[in-house]
Structure 1
Amino acid sequence: MIYSLDKINEMADGDEDFINSVISVFLEEVPQDLEDLEIALDQKNHRKVYELAHKIKPNVDLLGMEQARASALQMETLAKNEADFAEIAAIFPGLKKDIQQVVAELKTDFDPL
């Protein structure tokens, strides 16, 4: 398991509906954001890469995905500074793999929400 519900549980204070809501939003939004991020990378769009990495970062942080958070932050910073796209794109496969793994785990652990 590469995610943790510690932060969500702390915020939820025992509210199972809140936890399920956060998981649902993650499952709805983050895979689409990841897909959009891949398109923005293909298009070499620094602004869009920055925006999407910035949007993904708090979502993965909420699930305690430290490695994914670090990758999103790195992509966000590089895109903001208009770094070379090869450098930015090199980070993406790890981020994608981590998110896809957590999405699969969450669907198993919380199905059906």
Structure 2
Amino acid sequence: MIYSLDKINEMAEGDTDFIESVIAVFLDEVPQDLKNLEAAIDSKDYEKVYKLAHKIKPNVDLLGMEQTRAVALEIETLGKTPGDNGPAIEQKFPALKKDVLQVIAELKNDFNF
């Protein structure tokens, strides 16, 4: 398991509906954001890469995915920085994708979504 519900549990203060709604939003939004990010990387639309990585970052942070958050931050920074950062972004993206897809599968299994 590469996610942790510690942050969500702290925010929820025992409200299981809140926890499930946060997870539902993650499962609803993040897969599409990930697809859009991959498409933006493929089309070298670095402004969009920056925006999508920035959007994914708090979602993975909320699930305690510190390494994944760090990779999203690196991609976000590279997308915002002028110059040809495409190769660096392309090198980092597979780790982000792998972790996010793994957590999506784990959450669907763990919470019967």
What TM-score, normalized by structure 1, do the two folds share?
A: 0.97
**Which residue of structure 1 lines up, in the alignment, with residue 78 of structure 2?**
78
The alpha-carbon deviation at position 89 of structure 1 amounts to 1.1
Moved over 6 A (4+): none
Residue correspondences, number = 112
> What is the match of residue 111 of structure 1?
112
Q: Confirm whether residue 45 of structure 1 aligns to residue 45 of structure 2.
A: yes
Alpha-carbon shift at residue 5 of structure 1 (Å): 0.1
Q: Any unmatched runs of 5+ in structure 1? A: none
Q: Distance in 2 between matches of 1:86 and 1:96?
A: 16
Give the TM-score normalised by structure 2.
0.97
Deviations 1:63-96 (A, max 9, x none): 0001110000000001100342011111000000
**Matched-pair contact (CA < 8 Å) for 1:46–1:82:** no
How many percent of aligned residue pairs carry the same amino acid?
Answer: 68
Q: Does 1:68 align with 2:68?
A: yes
On the 8 A contact 1:5/1:64 being kept in 2, the answer is: yes
Amino acid at match of 2:109: T
Equivalence for 1:31: 31
Structure 1 vs Structure 2 CA RMSD: 0.7
